[in-house]
Amino acid sequence: MNQSTNQPINLSQTSPLGGATLSGPFTQLLTMDNLPLRGKISDEQLAIIPNGGILHKDGRIWEVRNFEKLRKENPDAKVLFFEGENVCLPGMIDVHTHICWAGSRARDYAMRLAGKTYLEIAEIGGGIWDTVQKTREASVEELAKLTFEHAEKLYKQGVTTIEVKSGYGLSVEQELKMLKAIRFANEKSRAELIPTCLAAHMKPKDFDGNELEYLQHIVENLLPEVKRQNLANRVDIFVEKSAFSIDDSKYYLAEAKKMGFDVVIHGDQFSNNCASLAAEFEAVSIDHLEYADKKEIEILSKSYVIPVALPGASLGLGERFAPARKLLDAGCSLVIASDWNPGSAPMGNLLVQAAILGAYEKLSMAETWAALTCRAAKALKRDDIGVLKKGNKADFIVFETGDFREILYRCLSPSVK
């Protein structure tokens, strides 16, 4: 089978049952294996296999090395042949998205361009609450369709694993509806969708009580049902002046962990005070960090919390970027995600956003690619994706170029028909 177009290959869904398949040859095959999970990475540390091939069966990798040697040693394998110059990488992983939503916030975007701040827009009826109202009006089938369409767009760009948050329902019934829509979308999506419960996005305007009482309501009435129906094993909370305080968040995170959820935090987006919270509760990641300072970075460097930069939100809001270079230099890990949502990050193009962040923060290409693959996998607590090696998912993307450096340089974007 000739492959003449750039396209993500998710062989866990397309490989034939029975015999093995050999994919290649790839001018350059970057496995992203054996890279440090924390700190700086130079391009010289990348393992690049020239004229590489991937032998896979039933959606799993059997072997990764020289294509011709694999072909001679496996004469019965079906060959998925790639013509011309091309570069193969693990499928990209987007660890922070809000792609389950209905409606549009183009009005918010126009107001931001006219000078209003994110918080000012929220105060006059825009912001998250606008999307909440539109999402509540949509049926579970409509939400599943929209989520699938958003996931398909990301898949065509080379993103084969996508974290998806709830958080636009903000009631027990509506949050469950969103998580079910994510599950239904995952059943049809070529990408793998990983759900996160973000019921603690903000206190809904129609809740009769304060922020802490709302969190108590979620803990008592929503999270047990999420667990019972196996709708998500991750819980997120937005810690900010416009959302939930540190003290209220401590209650929520403690209760969620007692129930067996992994916890992540939206933190330091507009103010800096969340690193200690993330470290105290052993959050898997802290996402945003635009306002993280030297003290925050030092705390994170001494913890196992994974910093996740969201350049799409910086671009959408006209805000500063997360201090990615300082995080890496301090010995932290770094992951880059799109934060694709209808309000603060409406662009939804992970590779372009990562390239822009890399240019501004002076990230090596190896650091950027690690932030999209092997390090991103750790932010989802997954060891079977993000690296092309024996036993992992046969999940890889191919670009029509003979030099991996061209991909970020020209922002090449794979596409799928």
119 three-class SS: helix
Let me know if residue 294 belongs to a domain: yes
- What pLDDT is attached to residue 355? 97
**79, 132: one domain:** no
Does residue 115 sit in the same domain as residue 131? yes
415 part of a folded domain:
no
Does a structural domain hold residue 361? yes
254 inside domain: yes
Kindly give the residue spans of alpha helices, DSSP state H, lying in 344-395.
350-361, 365-372, 374-379
68 domain-assigned:
yes
Q: Does residue 38 sit in the same domain as residue 172?
A: no
Q: Do 38 and 159 belong together in one domain?
A: no
Same domain, 77 and 117: no
Whether residue 64 sits in one domain with residue 119: no
Cα(281)–Cα(296) distance, integer angstroms: 15
Q: Considering only CA atoms, which of 155, 83, 47, 71 is closest in space to residue 388?
A: 47
What pLDDT does residue 4 have? 36
- Ordered alpha helix ranges (H), 281-323: 294-301, 311-317
**According to the model, what pLDDT value does residue 17 have?**
36
Determine the pLDDT at residue 9. 55
Q: Are residues 245 and 391 in the same domain?
A: no
Distance CA 399, CA 409 (A): 13
Question: Is residue 416 one of the residues assigned to a domain?
Answer: no
Q: Are 247 and 328 part of one and the same domain?
A: yes
Residues in contact with 27: Cβ distance below 8 Å, sequence separation at least 6, in sequence order? 50, 51, 85, 86, 87, 402
Structure tokens at 135: 């999402």
Q: Are residues 140 and 169 in the same domain?
A: yes
Q: Are 262 and 277 in contact (CB under 8 A)?
A: no
CB 206 within 8 Å of CB 240: no
Question: Could you give the CA distance from residue 288 to residue 286 in angstroms, rounded to a whole number?
Answer: 7
- Looking at the structure of the chain, the number of domains it has is 2
Contact partners, residue 34, CB within 8 Å, separation at least 6 = 47
The residue type at 309: A
Domain-located, residue 268: yes
Residues 142 and 116 in one domain: yes
Name every residue whose Cβ is closer than 8 Å to that of residue 261 and which is 6 or more positions away in sequence: 197, 223, 227, 232, 233, 234, 235
Where the chain has pLDDT below 50, the residues are 1-6, 11-18, 415-417
- Are 165 and 158 a contacting pair, CB within 8 Å? no
The token duo for 344 is: 């603060």
C-beta separation of 323 from 361 below 8 A: yes
Contact 378, 333 (CB under 8 A): yes
Quote the domain boundaries for residue 359.
Answer: 93-379
Query: Would you state the pLDDT for residue 396?
Result: 96
Q: 276 lies in a domain?
A: yes
Q: Are 134 and 102 in contact (CB under 8 A)?
A: yes
Burial (CB < 10 A; 0-12, 13-18, 19+), residue 230, is: exposed
* Residue 233, pLDDT score: 98
247 and 357 assigned to the same domain? yes
Q: Tell me: do 145 and 195 sit in the same domain.
A: yes
